[in-house]
Amino acid sequence: MFSESVRCLVVVGAQWGDEGKGKLVDVLAEQATIVARYQGGANAGHTVLVGEEEFILHLIPSGILYPRTRCLLGNGVVVDPWTLAEEMEGLRGRGIDLGGRLGLSKRAHLVMPYHRVLDQAQESSRDSENKIGTTGRGIGPAYRDKVARVGLRVGDLADDQRTREVVEAACHAANGTLERLGDERADPEAAMEQLDSVRAMLLDLATDTGHELRTGLAAGGRVLLEGAQGALLDIDHGTYPYVTSSSTTAGGAAAGVGIGPTLIDEVLGVVKAYTTRVGNGPLPTELTGGEADRLRHLGGEFGATTGRPRRPGWFDANVVRYAGGVNGLTSLAVTKLDVLDSFEEIRLATGYEFEGDAIGPFPDSVELLERVTPVYATHEGWQTSTTGCRSWEELPGQARSYLRRVEAESAVPIRYVSVGAARRETIRLGAGGVGIRT
């Protein structure tokens, strides 16, 4: 994927998150000098399999598993310092040397204990109709403080007085809300004390991510910008209000690390060979009953962060076409093809109808998206294992035909097909996509 002409690559989720970005980033990070996260926080959960070892990372990019890659958390990320500390400890405990390989933007905002309390209290106070199904990690409240210009940034920690002022004001405001919601209260002294345990670590990691990336690229380095969640969870382009609180799409990448968009060469969208969503909100191709259970169990569709069962459905080309547009995708990686190995029939949605009429552009209203009827194409299943396949030619004919349809309906060329969790269980295709192949 990286080449003389491709120095800076963005990897995004092109559905509702959990597409397998962690594995793709892990595969591509081998060629990268720097991997940087640009948004989200510890709401994400990347599962990466290296040999027999499974790593679940929430904040640190999976590039950390290569010994020479530098990993950054950009200014667009909201950082829960205690989760970060735990993750660093876990990696060190498994023999991974982090020395000089991890950096954190001084401009990144911190997710404080009172953000988590607020997130959980607000979510439980919503009636079931209106619950977003957040991960409870404090993401929304942390971004709200950032946008309201009252947040605490990594760089602020160097100034004790300033830190105290921000924390006290934030706790005061949080308590105004919490008093209406229940018994929990934000405690500024406890928050200051908790910060004491991580302050030195954070300041030690603090850097200017934009400067590092710009100079790295100018020196001929290769940069991978890693998105979390997916396009349909984007604060602007997703199924609002059932979204996360950041710009998950590729447009957020430049702003989230501090480079100009003209430095980005390619945008790879990661999609599952089917669809899942965790949390509430519309999912037009959602399966129910036995079919849902089958897909969920075959795909191990339980959240890496919260353990919640994911809602499974057929591949929805309407979603991926839309994600292709809002991200400017230059190629696709299709993951978990092997999960479909045993199905007799596989469906994919090519359009939507509402009251008998075809729907044009992807709906911007969740009310409409809840009510559309997907138009399906049905493909014959291959009913044989694809996990051992390492090339396009080795895939069964029905799988190739399904992938050609996925590509044609999504209008983005497929570059990678993943047929298992391990690094080697990946089929690499050329730049032209699968449409040109027999």
18 is catalytic: yes
CA distances from 5 to 2, 24, 26, 266, 431 (A): 8, 20, 21, 10, 13
Our CB check for ligand IMP shows the closer of 45 and 299 to be 45
Which pairing describes strands 426-428 and 414-418: parallel, antiparallel, or unpaired? Answer: antiparallel
**Do the beta carbons of residue 25 and residue 2 sit within 8 Å?**
no
Rounded to a whole number of angstroms, the minimum distance from the CB of residue 307 to ligand IMP is: 12
DSSP label at 138?
A: S
From residue 216 to residue 255, what is the string marking binding to ligand IMP with x (rule CB under 6 A)? ------------xx---x--------x-xx----------
18 or 425: CB nearest ligand IMP: 18
| Euclidean distance between CA atoms 293 and 306, whole angstroms | 18
Catalytic-labelled residue, pool 26, 46, 109, 145: 46
Alpha helices in 148-198 (DSSP H): 160-181, 188-196
Amino acid letter for position 110: L
Name the residue with the smallest CB distance to ligand IMP. 279
The CA-to-CA distance between both ends of the chain, in Å, stands at 22
Catalytic annotation present for 109: no
223 vs 233, which CB is nearer to ligand IMP?
Answer: 233
Q: What are phi and psi of 105, to 5 degrees?
A: -65, 135
Which of 37, 106, 109, 137 binds ligand IMP (CB under 6 A)? It is 137
| Widest distance between CA atoms in the chain | 67
Asked whether the bond before 363 is cis by omega within 30 degrees of 0, the reply is no
Smaller CB separation from ligand IMP, 69 or 229: 229
| The only residue of 15, 39, 135, 247 in contact with ligand IMP, by rule CB under 6 A | 135
CB of 278 to ligand IMP, least distance (A): 4
Q: What minimum distance in Å lies between the beta carbon of 303 and ligand IMP? A: 7
d(CA 87, CA 356): 51
The torsion angles phi and psi of 401, rounded to 5 degrees, stand at: -65, -40
- Residue 279 binds ligand IMP (CB under 6 A): yes
Q: Does the protein bind ligand IMP through residue 313 (CB under 6 A)? A: no
CB 126 to ligand IMP: min, Å: 12
Examine residue 17 and tell whether it contacts ligand IMP (CB under 6 A): yes
Element (H, E) at 79: strand 78-79
Which 35-64 positions form the footprint of ligand IMP (CB under 6 A)?
Answer: 43-45
* Those residues with Cβ within 8 angstroms of residue 103's Cβ, 6 or more apart along the chain or in another chain: 70, 71, 72, 73, 205, 206, 207, 209, 212
Residue among 132, 181, 198, 201 that touches ligand IMP (CB under 6 A): 132
Compare residues 42 and 257 and give the one whose CB is closer to ligand IMP: 42
CB of 232 to ligand IMP, least distance (A): 10
Number of DSSP helices (H) and strands (E) in the chain, helices first: 13, 20
The minimum distance between CB 263 and ligand IMP, in angstroms, equals: 26
Q: How many of the chain's residues bind ligand IMP (CB under 6 A)?
A: 20
Q: Which residues contact 281 (CB under 8 A, 6 or more apart)?
A: 132, 133, 239, 242, 243, 366
Nearer to ligand IMP, 137 or 237 (CB): 137
- Asked if 309 is part of the footprint of ligand IMP (rule: CB under 6 A), the reply reads no
Candidate ranges 126-134, 172-180, 259-267, 377-385; the one touching ligand IMP (CB under 6 A)? 126-134
Catalytically active residues, by annotation = 18, 46
Query: What residues line the site for ligand IMP (CB under 6 A)?
Result: 17-18, 43-45, 132-135, 137, 139-140, 228-229, 233, 242, 244-245, 278-279
